[in-house]
Amino acid sequence: MKKMIIFDFDGTISNSVDIVYRVYEKLSKEYGFKHFTHEEIHELKMLSIHERLKKHKVSIFQLPKLARKTRRIVSELIEETYPFDGMKELLALLKEQGFILSIVSSNSKHNIESFIKNHDLIEFDHIYGKASFFGKERLIRKLLRKEKHTKSIYVGDELRDIVSSKEVPIDIISVTWGFDDITLLEAESPNYIANTVDELKELLIHKVFKS
């Protein structure tokens, strides 16, 4: 049976966490959001999306516009983002071992492909971008229909990734080096948790697909 790993992008493969403050500053200036310090923005990692919107005083009806604007800002900063340490080597190893590698992300396909080219990453089999801010289940299901008869798992860094995976359903590995705090992730009970890229490698190669 074929084996597929579906990755989130920002906060999982790409260390976009480092530019989140700059993105937020640009958005706050344009839309008049409340100013938060770096420490306060870091504390948002402990909150769900709905709680963050409330703290920002942002309506859900503003999200589509904000998502488009965020992707444009990220495209301007994409050359300043890098893969997390060890991720490039892990992806190459997984490809070498015959895994189908895919991405389902809220970021745009254009931004993702630019990042892949900039850092000479392996070629992904599928890249689905512009997933809904509130859920990726539609695109995950679309990908699973395309790659029938595969054993698959999703890898992501956010609470919403866990919620989407349960909705599909598909097993998920939650990584703790991204946007959401580990306590927030653990509360939603993902199938696995990886605290480092090495732990992720161990799960993918020696555990998830061996069971």
Following DSSP, what letter does each residue of 3-68 receive, concatenated? EEEEE--BTTTB-GGGGHHHHHHHHHHHHTPPP--HHHHHHGGGS-HHHHHHHHT--GGGHHHHHH
| Highest mean pLDDT, choosing among 35-44, 60-69, 178-187 | 178-187
Residue 164 predicted with pLDDT over 80 = yes
pLDDT at 162: 96
The residues, ordered by sequence, that sit 6+ positions from 20 with a Cβ below 8 Å of its Cβ are 41, 179
* Gap between the Cα atoms of 43 and 183, Å rounded: 12
The structure tokens listed for 146 are 């395309």
Task: List the 150-156 sheet strands across, edge first.
Answer: 126-128, 100-104, 2-7, 150-156, 171-175, 192-194
List 122's β-bridge partners, or say none: none
Q: What is the pLDDT of residues 132-155, one digit of tens each?
A: 877 899 999 999 999 988 999 999
Confidence of residue 29 (pLDDT cuts 50, 70, 90): confident
pLDDT at 146: 95
If one counts every other C-beta atom within 10 angstroms of the C-beta of residue 190, the result is 21
Quick one: average pLDDT of 55-60? 66
Q: What is the pLDDT of residues 83-109, one digit of tens each?
A: 999 999 999 999 999 999 999 999 999
pLDDT at 45: 59
Quick one: average pLDDT of 190-204? 98
Quick one: average pLDDT of 50-59? 67
Residue 196 predicted with pLDDT over 80 = yes
Confidence of residue 120 (pLDDT cuts 50, 70, 90): very high
Q: Are 33 and 27 in contact (CB under 8 A)?
A: yes
Confidence of residue 41 (pLDDT cuts 50, 70, 90): low
* Gap between the Cα atoms of 5 and 38, Å rounded: 33
pLDDT at 36: 64
pLDDT at 20: 73
Domain 2-15+81-208 class? alpha beta
The structure tokens listed for 20 are 């989140």
Residue 35 predicted with pLDDT over 90 = no
| Least confident range of 45-49, 64-68, 165-169, 177-181 | 45-49
If one counts every other C-beta atom within 10 angstroms of the C-beta of residue 154, the result is 27
Instruction: Give domain limits for the chain.
Output: 2-15+81-208, 17-80
The structure tokens listed for 45 are 């990692």
Residue 118 predicted with pLDDT over 70 = yes
φ, ψ of residue 5 to 5 degrees: the values are -115, 125
